[in-house]
Amino acid sequence: MSEPTPPKIALLLMAAGSSSRLGQPKQLIKITKQGKHPQSLLHRQIMLMDNMCLAFNAKAYCVLGFQSKIMTEHLTSCSTVQPFTLIDHDNWQQGLSSSIAKGVSVLIDEKDQNFSAVLIFFVDQWQLTVEHLTKLIAQWQQAPERIHLACCGEHFSPPAIFPQNFFTELKTLSGDDGAKIVIKNNSRQVNSITMPSAFVDLDTPEQLEGFINETNDK
């Protein structure tokens, strides 16, 4: 008897913002590592999803907004094994929450996929690895009815996995607080996993300087 197919999960990369505090599109900032070709943050995260799709019953999506045409053209140079779907969010200026809502609305409309959950993460979480996301998915598989997300001390952050029964709440999000309200309203259904790397992002010129110094040294 063949083994049952594992629950299907959508990987949703948030890459729609204009990086106003940074002063330049963070999506296109290059990572330079010794012995490897420079790679944009956007390309890096797409490749991360590609690896996850190969390892799990997953499908990859990326929400674009700011300069979406430029971002799309940039991604044509990305070689991936698994296809990924670009979601163009015309109203990206309305904030992160609206971008999440847009992405989840697309997942809901793809009825033939029947996703059991969505894993949401950000384009500037440049220290996340396949191992981090694999660990989070493994925890979700043990308790598939609960929300699973990263934590560091008392702070919480994506990557976060939301089961299908939270899709309607995510679809109605608005503003710029991400999915915080969904997590707050369902705090008794949240499991966290310690993941300091999830809290390393790229929002300010000072963080960019540290990012350049660290990646150039590796």
Alpha-carbon span 48 to 38, nearest angstrom? 15
From the CA atom positions of the chain, what is the Rg in Å? 17
CATH code (residue 199): 3.90.550.10
Which has more confidence, 177 or 211?
A: 177
- Asked if 177 and 195 count as a contact pair (C-beta separation under 8 A), the reply is no
Q: Is the confidence at residue 217, as pLDDT, over 60?
A: no
User: Is the confidence at residue 144, as pLDDT, over 80?
Assistant: yes
- How far is 17 from 96, CA to CA, in rounded Å? 7
Domain of residue 41, residue span: 9-216
Confidence (pLDDT) at 186:
96
Residues 6+ positions from 65 with CB-CB distance below 8 Å = 15, 16, 17, 18, 88, 89, 90, 91, 92, 93, 99
Token pair, residue 58, equals 């997953």
Q: Is residue 2 part of a domain?
A: no
Q: Is residue 153 part of a domain?
A: yes
42-56, 75-89, 179-193: which has the minimum mean pLDDT? 75-89
In a domain, 178, yes or no: yes
How high is the pLDDT of residue 179?
A: 96
* pLDDT of 33 strictly over 80: no
With respect to residue 26, please indicate whether it lies within any of the assigned structural domains. yes
Average pLDDT (46-75) is 94
Angle between helices 68-75 and 41-55 (to 10 degrees): 60
- Rounded to whole angstroms, how far apart are CA atoms 19 and 173? 21
Specify if 159 maps to a domain: yes
- Number of structural domains found in the chain: 1
24-47 in b/e form (b: 16+ CB < 10 A) is ebbbbbebeeeeeeebbbbbbbbb
d(CA 111, CA 6): 17
